[in-house]
Amino acid sequence: MTRLLQFPSQAFKKQISALTVAMSLGFSSASQADVLVDINIDKPEHHLSRITLTFEPTTNDEMVLKLPVWRTGRYEILNIANGVRDFTATNAQGEPLTWHKTAKDTWVIESASKGVTVSYQLYANQLGKRTRHIDDSHAFLDASAVVMYSEESRTDRHIINMQVPKGWKSISGLAFGEHEQQFIAPNYDVFVDSPIETGILKHHEFKVDGRDYELAIWGEGNYVEKDMVRDLKKLVKTGNVIWPDYPYERYVFMVHATSGVRGATEHLNSTIIQRNRYSFNKREDYLSFLSTASHEFVHTWNVKQYRPEGLVPYDYQHENYSNLLWLSEGSTSYFQNQLLVRADIMTAQEFLTDLAKRVNGYLRKPGRDSQSIAHASFDKWIDQGGDYGKNHSVNIYSEGYLTSWLLDFALIEDTGMKKSYRDVHSALYQDFRLPKSFNDQDVLNILENITGESYASWWQQNVEGTPEPDFDKLLKKAGLKITYGNDKRSNAWTGIATKAVQSGLKITAVEKNSPAWQAGFTLDDIIIAIDGLRMADTSLTKRLKNFQPEQEVEISFFRRDQLMHKTIKLGALPNGILKIVPVSKPSKRQKKFFKTWTGIALPKA
């Protein structure tokens, strides 16, 4: 079954061509067929829609349809197929076809050679996972959680028709078809990487340097739309700070102002950002939103245009392993605020405040000596957070940021401030764009080309091993130092995190090698008293102010409902907050180093 379309404009043709090139992935097809995708959001108040897929005749008598088990941007196996019910399959004449399931995500249809139409009900109520969500005000649809595919149809053009409630507006990074409720994807991979947002939206369009941009906001909140548009305009001008060109002609920012969920995901030429509806007004909150927008913008190149071996092409039914996910995610985190600084959105002081939090977080992460960033990348698919993760693991985002920072400073130093880590990503973009991929040796080759030196030993220590950065020495290169202010006092410290419960304070984390760890405290112990006095104010931090570091105290607690007592020798933490500030008299070299690094002048002390 083929539907002839009258495409309306040269802009459409230009966009569809750009998307095809961007995600070609080496697939080829002698004659591309069409898959017709009808998405009928008929019962939005019940989170329901009807999905109908029409496939053209093939040479295969059997058609194997699958729904992915994960989505791009989230390296985790998800329970996506759980929303499919009432599956039917018919041929081009409307006659029923025999089908059966062979796995949770796989439907096999017999006698499929003459064309197949499948239809199924889809339940969409996974807002926090950014896969699919429908309610009476909007729908967010990531194709990986909505539309099935076969290996043969993966290369086919997909024509998507939306049937939505009256008054809803539909947007996507995909090209429009004949009307505003129709989209065109040159293949399934582009479709999967181009989510659709439809509903009652606040919508803005703007143009920067000849490229088209959209901002679509779903939900009410304390955001200021004109401020968001103003600053996004500044942000998108910074791409050439790192890369030689832009891989898109049009980009869409989608924002969910909602409750109870957060997070963001990058896509081919769009992003979805979810935030608490009241987390836009304060300067700190608004900067957090813009940092997230910048992070996803960086991904437009890093991941969406070049990515490591193991992720090219995507295998939608299995884990996609790589020991370089830290470069994909952590380096993106590293660049996000640099772009904001260069765009004059974030001040130098705000940049250094964020850096100080990251340094402090690393110093307080016991897992930094237990796992390399390469191993953390490979194990991201089984990543375990919480107490165990903090004590025995590192994170591809936070520690990936640190590794990127260490590498950046090494490159700036080794090239006499002529090159930086930005040049590495520029080279990856130019030399390893999809359908190519890169591995560790490719990155090492780029480093050697840039510096004329081998980085093999550096890589062994900092990527495959556990780095031991000297932050004082590192920061001094850029005319900076760590300070805790003028307050030289220390606070008593246990290494315990708690939450109040009815019977006392329940331990939620115990830092490895802390006083509490050494004393044998563990998760779910319930603290009820210190030195025989009941914990009446439910604040361990406040109670510890009555004691001094090195002092021994007795803690009474329940474990398995039994009353127990342990003596603990309190440790010490600085009373002040870790800050990174400029040195009082920076040298010309330090000033130049800082500007090479950030693009702005070193602020005065």
* pLDDT class of 25 with cuts at 50, 70, 90: very low
Note the pTM of the prediction, 2 decimals: 0.91
Q: Write down the pLDDT at residue 536.
A: 75
| 8, pLDDT greater than 90 | no
* pLDDT class of 332 with cuts at 50, 70, 90: very high
| 20, pLDDT greater than 80 | no
Are the beta carbons of 65 and 152 closer than 8 angstroms? no
Read off the pLDDT of each residue in 390-395 and give the average, rounded to a whole number.
92
Return phi, psi of residue 143, to 5°.
-55, -30
Please tell me whether residue 242 adopts helix, strand or coil conformation: coil
Please tell me whether residue 332 adopts helix, strand or coil conformation: helix
Token readout for 596 is 């090479």
Neighbours of 348 (CB within 10 A): 16
Read off the pLDDT of each residue in 287-306 and give the average, rounded to a whole number.
98
The pLDDT tens digits of the residues spanning 475-505 come to 999 999 999 987 778 899 999 999 999 889 9
Q: Write down the pLDDT at residue 31.
A: 59
CA angle 132, 137, 143 (to 5 degrees): 20
| 575, pLDDT greater than 90 | no
Query: What is each CA distance from 168 to 40, 185, 203, in whole angstroms?
Result: 13, 21, 12
| 15, pLDDT greater than 90 | no
CA 337 to chain centre: 15
| d(C-alpha 16, C-alpha 173), whole Å | 10
Q: Write down the pLDDT at residue 448.
A: 98
Q: Write down the pLDDT at residue 487.
A: 75
What does pLDDT average to over the chain?
Answer: 93
The pLDDT tens digits of the residues spanning 355-364 come to 999 999 999 9
| d(C-alpha 320, C-alpha 309), whole Å | 9
CA 540 to chain centre: 34
Among 141-145, 305-309, 312-316, 390-394, where is mean pLDDT lowest?
Answer: 390-394
Read off the pLDDT of each residue in 529-542 and give the average, rounded to a whole number.
87
Q: Write down the pLDDT at residue 54.
A: 97
DSSP state, residue 438: B
| 3, pLDDT greater than 80 | no
* pLDDT class of 258 with cuts at 50, 70, 90: very high
Q: Write down the pLDDT at residue 293.
A: 98
The pLDDT tens digits of the residues spanning 126-163 come to 999 999 999 999 999 999 999 999 999 999 999 999 99
| 1, pLDDT greater than 50 | no
Q: Write down the pLDDT at residue 164.
A: 97
Among residues of the chain, what percentage have pLDDT more than 70?
95
Read off the pLDDT of each residue in 176-188 and give the average, rounded to a whole number.
95
| d(C-alpha 385, C-alpha 363), whole Å | 18
* pLDDT class of 7 with cuts at 50, 70, 90: very low
Token readout for 219 is 């939900």
CA 326 to chain centre: 12
Q: Write down the pLDDT at residue 30.
A: 47
* pLDDT class of 4 with cuts at 50, 70, 90: very low
| d(C-alpha 578, C-alpha 194), whole Å | 41
Q: Write down the pLDDT at residue 390.
A: 87
| 330, pLDDT greater than 80 | yes
> Which of 297, 302, 296 lies closest to 325 in space, CA to CA?
302
Can you give 152-218 as a three-state secondary structure string? CHHHCEEEEEEECCCCCEEEECCEECCCCCEEEECCHHHHHCCCEEEECCEEEEEEECCEEEEEEEE
Are the beta carbons of 497 and 555 closer than 8 angstroms? no
| d(C-alpha 64, C-alpha 106), whole Å | 7
Q: Which helix (H) or strand (E) holds 292?
A: helix 283-299
Are the beta carbons of 312 and 433 closer than 8 angstroms? no
> Which of 186, 235, 396, 399 lies closest to 308 in space, CA to CA?
396
CA angle 94, 178, 31 (to 5 degrees): 60
| d(C-alpha 98, C-alpha 306), whole Å | 42
